[in-house]
Chains A and B, each alone.
Chain A
């Protein structure tokens, strides 16, 4: 089995194994474990892990601005900059907030994603030409996935609150506006799974991407795909008793856990996969969520032309200059025929001085 297939299969087997663990666990009547203990442990790991990571990141000093500009730096007043340029290369705090907002809410840097291609045609006798294309599909897949996932998570608040906030009800109403099927199909669930399949297919069909994809890239995709699929199956196909599910969820949220009888196995598989996602979060690539807030290339104002940034741990370093070098090896250099600044004869006359200065230092 080659490298790519091994990475893919390892992740797939891991997720299927997790599903099997939950299935066997529930069949062995371990509901209190899968319904109460694991969710609380997973939440604890999630919060603790994220706080640990963020504090670890914060311990790295960032003394310099990293502009990584995609546009014109602020410069002379007669070099005009439009709004886009000011947002891409902000020189003031409000524009930096704007750049962060564009990055976090609209995935600005993914929007700039390019596809490169070597074009070889008979019309080009000089050989293949490298061409860059605008390529928005990754951006579209990513933004569809993230917003669908956000909507799904927010909608799940109806299981954790009583009475359910009006905002959540409105969100669910808008999400299910197609009024297709009973219970109403929520578009976010469909978009979530379709976007995930695109993101997975992208890794599998593009040979370059397949080559750099690791098990840790596939695993979250399979895991969230598993969560989405079990959720959709539970809602539309193999129903579970939703009031009992809410009893369990509210029990967790009120710190007064209960395990109601008669919830289907599918629910526990769903819950277990969510717990695994929460616990896995602080140890994985998914940390880009808090990480984006701490990206020095995004959150620092590009004012290095206006403000002097001094390395806080800088100290004067003694340089060993060329003349020091020559003074040391003048004879040897001369004998080897290497040109020297001062001939050895001349140097001998002034030698006492040079040795003195060197001694002083």
Chain B
């Protein structure tokens, strides 16, 4: 490796730079920290099999109904996706107009009341509501007012 001369004058040869990872230790630490943080969901779940929630429909009130009439106000897919919108619209409707009738997509009339109709069938909050709510870490503030009378409702229905 030396300097060289051409018709334009003296030039230094292009330096050859060592091919290596500089600051190897720091780079590796940085990459490991990045990988661990970004794959935290994999580490936390390693070797686990988490069963999907199974909200129970086996309450006395539902079991008492004949097989055909065991239907909610709307179909299952609608309730799974949009029950929170439905409930909040009911709340607004009842509080603002006092009108407690809901006409569903099939034209059937229902009486609007979370405590007295919804929770009458679904008297098992911990096996029904909480099952999915806990699964997806949702904390609805319904229960602030509509206190969970799970025990008493369930007992009353059983009689």
Contact = CB atoms under 8 A, between A and B. Distances in A.
A60 B22 CA distance: 7
A254 B50 contact: yes
Interface stretch (A5-13, A162-170, A268-276): A162-170
A320 B30 contact: no
Contacts of B146: none
A250 B44 CA distance: 11
Given A60-B22, A250-B45, A313-B16, A243 B85 contact: no
* Chain B interface category by residue count: 35 or more
Interface string B136-157: 1111110000000000000000
Contacts of B35: 47, 51
Interface string B45-85: 10011101100000000000000000000000100111011
B3 A179 contact: no
A183 B19 CA distance: 55
Nearest to A181: B88
Contacts of B24: 58
A321 to B, nearest CB: 10
B22 A243 contact: no
Interface stretch (A120-128, A187-195, A234-242, A339-347): A234-242
Interface stretch (A153-161, A209-217, A329-337): A153-161
Given A55-B27, A290-B34, A240 B48 contact: no
Contacts of B50: 162, 250, 254
Interface stretch (B7-15, B95-103, B106-114, B118-126): B7-15
* Chain A interface category by residue count: 35 or more
Nearest to A46: B38
Nearest to B15: A313
A289 B24 CA distance: 20
Contact of B52 (A163, A243, A315): A243
A318 B3 contact: yes
A239 B42 contact: no
B85 A158 contact: no
A178 to B, nearest CB: 13
A241 B10 contact: no
Contacts of B41: 157, 160-161, 253
4 closest cross-chain pairs (CB), A and B: A160-B41, A164-B137, A182-B88, A239-B81
Interface of A: 47, 50-51, 54-55, 58-62, 157-164, 168-169, 172-173, 179, 182-183, 239-244, 246-247, 250, 253-256, 260, 262, 264, 290, 293, 312-315, 317-320
Interface of B: 1-3, 5, 9-10, 12, 15-24, 27, 30-31, 34-35, 38-42, 44-45, 48-50, 52-53, 77, 80-82, 84-85, 87-88, 132, 134-141
23 contacts: A47-B39, A54-B27, A59-B21, A61-B18, A160-B45, A161-B44, A161-B45, A162-B50, A179-B141, A182-B84, A182-B87, A239-B85, A242-B132, A242-B136, A243-B136, A246-B135, A250-B45, A260-B52, A290-B34, A315-B1, A317-B3, A318-B10, A320-B9
